[in-house]
A and B are shown apart, each in its own frame.
Chain A
Amino acid sequence: EAGVTQFPSHSVIEKGQTVTLRCDPISGHDNLYWYRRVMGKEIKFLLHFVKESKQDESGMPNNRFLAERTGGTYSTLKVQPAELEDSGVYFCASSPLGRSGNTIYFGEGSWLTVV
């Protein structure tokens, strides 16, 4: 069974440019999460989809970040325009709906460098 896949794995862009990160969750997983880890700090929550609906977007830093989940399948996270402080690794994770404690599976991350 394929795990959570993310694309691109690495991206270097200039300040002011746009970057779109894609996440394909594990098939059948209705929960999809985006997290970010910046400069060796903690892994911070960005937002949570349940199917195609945004369940919680309290962690989105500002309106330069836009996340979508088309048809409840894959998700994209767009940063426009990118700023230097957006550099970090963006993790996507997924889990099935259901009882508390379902394992949340992480992708390998998209490493973003803004220069």
Chain B
Amino acid sequence: QQQVKQSPQSLIVQKGGISIINCAYENTAFDYFPWYQQFPGKGPALLIAIRPDVSEKKEGRFTISFNKSAKQFSLHIMDSQPGDSATYFCAANFGNEKLTFGTGTRLTIIP
């Protein structure tokens, strides 16, 4: 059972454009929603995270939008750059419990 659904599977965005990746979750007990960025040959690295008590969190060019009633959250990358090309995973957990990951989005930024 896939508890966190992520889309799209792959995404191509022109340099300077906005990249948007969406996730939906099922378990209402989740209280922490991180996004991880993974470059080829490397492990996932925390990019930005949000708790359900806020609807938006922004860090630089990266923004998480959170809709608790719809059980959805999304990552927006503004002014996308070639260096942002990577695989992005949304995830969710509660307490110290395991992270449940989405299936990943392979983002490619083209010049």
> In the docked arrangement, what's the CA distance between A97 and B96, Å?
7
Q: Is the CB of B98 within 8 A of A56?
A: yes
Question: Interface-forming stretch among B39-47, B58-66, B67-75?
Answer: B39-47
Cβ of B103 within 8 Å of any chain A Cβ, yes or no, is yes
Cβ of A100 within 8 Å of any chain B Cβ, yes or no, is yes
Cβ of A4 within 8 Å of any chain B Cβ, yes or no, is yes
Cβ of A43 within 8 Å of any chain B Cβ, yes or no, is yes
Taking residues whose C-beta sits less than 8 angstroms from the other chain, chain B's interface range is: 20 to 34
Binary flags per residue of A63-106, CB closer than 8 Å to B gives 1, else 0: 00000000000000000000000000001010101101111111
The one of A41, A48, A93, A108 in contact with B41, judged by C-beta atoms closer than 8 angstroms, is: A108
The one of B6, B49, B98, B101 in contact with A48, judged by C-beta atoms closer than 8 angstroms, is: B98
Given A42-B89, A93-B43, 19 other A-B contacts at CB below 8 A?
A33-B99, A41-B103, A42-B102, A43-B99, A43-B104, A45-B100, A48-B97, A48-B98, A100-B32, A100-B93, A100-B96, A101-B31, A101-B32, A104-B46, A104-B99, A106-B43, A106-B45, A108-B42, A109-B42
**Is the contact region of chain B dominated by helix, strand, or loop, or is it mixed?**
loop
Interface positions, chain B 8-55, Cβ under 8 Å from A, are 31-32, 34, 36, 41-46, 49, 51
Per CB-CB distance, the 7 closest pairs between chain A and chain B, nearest first, are: A106-B43, A45-B98, A101-B32, A43-B101, A42-B103, A108-B43, A106-B44
Interface positions, chain B 66-96, Cβ under 8 Å from A, are 89, 93-96
Q: Is the CB of B43 within 8 A of A91?
A: yes
Q: Could you say which residues of chain A place their CB within 8 Å of the CB of B44?
A: 43, 91, 106
> In the docked arrangement, what's the CA distance between A72 and B1, Å?
31
Q: Could you say which residues of chain A place their CB within 8 Å of the CB of B102?
A: 42
Q: Could you say which residues of chain B place their CB within 8 Å of the CB of A31?
A: 96
Q: Is the CB of A102 within 8 A of B43?
A: no
> In the docked arrangement, what's the CA distance between A33 and B6, Å?
22
